[in-house]
Structure 1
Amino acid sequence: MIKDITYMHEHVTIDLSKEKNNIDCKLDSFEETKKEFLRLKELGVTRIVDVTNIGIGRNVDYVMKMEESTGLKIYMSTGYYKEPFLPKEVEELNVEKLAQKMIDDIRIGIDGKKKCATFIGEIGTGFKVITELEKKVFHAAAIAQKATGVFITTHTSLGKLGHEQLDFLENLKADLNKVILGHTALANNLDYIRSLLKRGVYIEFDTIGKDSYLPDEIRAQFIKELCDEGWSDKIIMSVDLTRKSHLKTNGGIGYAYLIENFLPMLRKIGVQEVFLEKILVENPKKILGVRSK
């Protein structure tokens, strides 16, 4: 059993229900989530990165209560998601003020609380182009990253526009070695993933268990090939649950799916245990600045 695991891209709570006109997209089931998090703890998980940010249901009190109730360490985020989920302040404030809000979340605390943001993200883009408001968020994120040194974690819609995101950040002198690209496996193109890795970023295999996006067999094969090629130092994983119906108690895959179902699949096709330790334990600790015992 692998111990000291970190889930690198989750939502302790999130609300996309208004824009999607679907109450299922409001994940705020405290007791059900608590039950699943306690199961994660039994399975060796010690940390969770919550990438819910401003405007999509970020709730620092909720997260702090979850931490206290489960004993898990939960890292929170700042920034703004993507259109059409951006709050009005993204349009109303200039880039510098948006960046300062992120910096304050990181240095001072979220919503007047002592808990600070550890990540900028998930900041995202759509399927075809990066909109002007999304560029504004990425610009502010680059400023905030340079001021604080924290990681930027991104959302790519079905894996698209990964290089466009990186080009934009690179032009703003952001540190690509401190960028995590989310969902890129959904492009279903291993050469594309390799080309992103060559730019120094971390690639996140998330949405695991969501076979409607991409069968897990393909995710597993991608991970095996990348590990065999020497990329295990730049891979992290998570399931990325966002709906009430994703919870196991509601008939979904549940947060534990990664450990209970996906890890056995990786082992079965020959992914070495040393690689799994890197992906689930060592790489997240390096990103988070956690010292190994």
Structure 2
Amino acid sequence: MILDNKSKFKNMGNTLIHEHLTVDLSTVKGDNDTNLDDLNAMIDDLKELKNNGINTIIDVTNIGMGRNVRKIKYISEKSGINVILSTGFYKDPFLPDNVVEKSVNELSRILVDEILNGIDETEFKASVIGEIGTSKDNIKDIEKKVFIAASIAHNETGAPIITHTTLGKLGLEQLQIFKNMNVNLEKVVIGHVDLNPDLDYYLKLLDNGCYIAFDTIGKNNYQPDEIRAKFIKSLIDKGYTKKLLLSLDITRKSHLKYYGGYGHSYICDKFIPILTSNGVSDENIKTILYDNPITLIGG
């Protein structure tokens, strides 16, 4: 089921807040592995995820990233996983031409229309603005343009914003744009912070009232999951349980089990036990997976 209004959000259950069902970055990357075009492999992965207790994913694939609402609906129906849809524009060099061509206000109208009226001439509405992103070392002017347009759309609709930070960097700079635009920071998720293992950085982000996402779980080539778990435990001990969110950000066919990858169910099979072994309680895990996403989306 696609969840696209507040009356449905009570059905979210345990939720992963940063996933992609039909992402296609292959044209820019020159790598067909970044085209999630095998629907059956995705369905099999998500069936296993559902059997392991995850009910909903937030699909942060947006305009220009290969989002296909009709395929998402099919995947959702066949797998049993609820899906929450997003609107927005990603980051340079993945931005469509109209981001350059249109004004900030025109871009914001596109986002508002997808939230209020539906995506790609379907009845299915976006409930999230995301993932909107920034480059590694600086925020490019074209990316700032997207952040401002997203802020305008957020202020009009109240839709939460989920960001992409390259290697976990520039989250504070992202928040400054949102502050300048009077965005409600309690409805902002700074993504991929687990790629930047820095507790002081996490605390500075959290002191702004936003959520932070440990959402590249399983990508041990970037950061061992044991380190992710230790940071999560430290933040829980400091009283930030209600501001933490989890996901895997699977974006390659080779991540799926059919192609030999760890698969979506890794978060339940492997990572939750790592959290438990680091002293994270079942109550804490419920807060992060169940309560926090509902508060973000529906609260």
Structure having the larger proportion of residues in strand: 1
Identity %, equivalent residues? 47
Corresponding position: 1:24 with 2:56: no
Per-residue Cα deviation, 1:220-271 (whole angstroms, up to 9, x for no partner): 0000111111100000100110001010111111000111000001101111
Aligned residue type for 1:174: V
Write the distance in 2 (CA, Å) between the matches of 1:4 and 1:89: 36
Gaps of 5+ in 2: 1-11
- Partner of residue 52 from structure 2, selected from 16, 29, 43: 43
- Partner of residue 170 from structure 1, selected from 176, 179, 201: 179
Q: Which residue of 1 aligns with 2:165?
A: 156
Q: Which residue of 1 aligns with 2:8?
A: none
Aligned residue type for 2:185: L
CA contact (8 A) 1:155 1:182 kept: yes
Aligned ranges 1:88-99 → 2 under 5 Å: 88-99=97-108
Corresponding position: 1:235 with 2:244: yes
CA contact (8 A) 2:194 2:216 kept: no
Aligned residue type for 2:265: A
RMSD between aligned alpha carbons?
1.1
SS of match in other structure, 1:112: coil
Aligned residue type for 2:130: G
SS of match in other structure, 2:55: strand
Normalised to the residue count of structure 1, the TM-score between the two structures is 0.97
Q: Which residue of 2 aligns with 1:111?
A: 120
Aligned ranges 1:91-240 → 2 under 5 Å: 91-240=100-249
Per-residue Cα deviation, 1:90-132 (whole angstroms, up to 9, x for no partner): 0001011100000000000000101000100100001111111
Q: Which residue of 2 aligns with 1:256?
A: 265
Write the distance in 2 (CA, Å) between the matches of 1:31 and 1:51: 20
CA deviation after TM superposition for structure 1 residue 4, in Å: 2.8
Corresponding position: 1:244 with 2:236: no
Write the distance in 2 (CA, Å) between the matches of 1:256 and 1:270: 21
Per-residue Cα deviation, 1:58-82 (whole angstroms, up to 9, x for no partner): 1010111112212221011001000
Aligned residue type for 1:219: R
Q: Which has the higher contact order (CA 8 A, sep 6+)?
A: 2
Q: Which residue of 2 aligns with 1:280?
A: 289
Aligned residue type for 2:222: Y
Q: Which residue of 1 aligns with 2:42?
A: 33
CA deviation after TM superposition for structure 1 residue 43, in Å: 1.0
SS of match in other structure, 2:149: helix
SS of match in other structure, 2:21: coil
CA deviation after TM superposition for structure 1 residue 288, in Å: 2.1
CA deviation after TM superposition for structure 1 residue 28, in Å: 1.6
CA contact (8 A) 2:47 2:79 kept: yes
Write the distance in 2 (CA, Å) between the matches of 1:93 and 1:25: 28
Corresponding position: 1:12 with 2:35: no
Write the distance in 2 (CA, Å) between the matches of 1:29 and 1:282: 32
Per-residue Cα deviation, 1:182-220 (whole angstroms, up to 9, x for no partner): 001211101101110010000101110101111111100
CA contact (8 A) 1:185 1:193 kept: no
Write the distance in 2 (CA, Å) between the matches of 1:196 and 1:287: 16
Aligned residue type for 2:195: L
CA deviation after TM superposition for structure 1 residue 173, in Å: 1.1
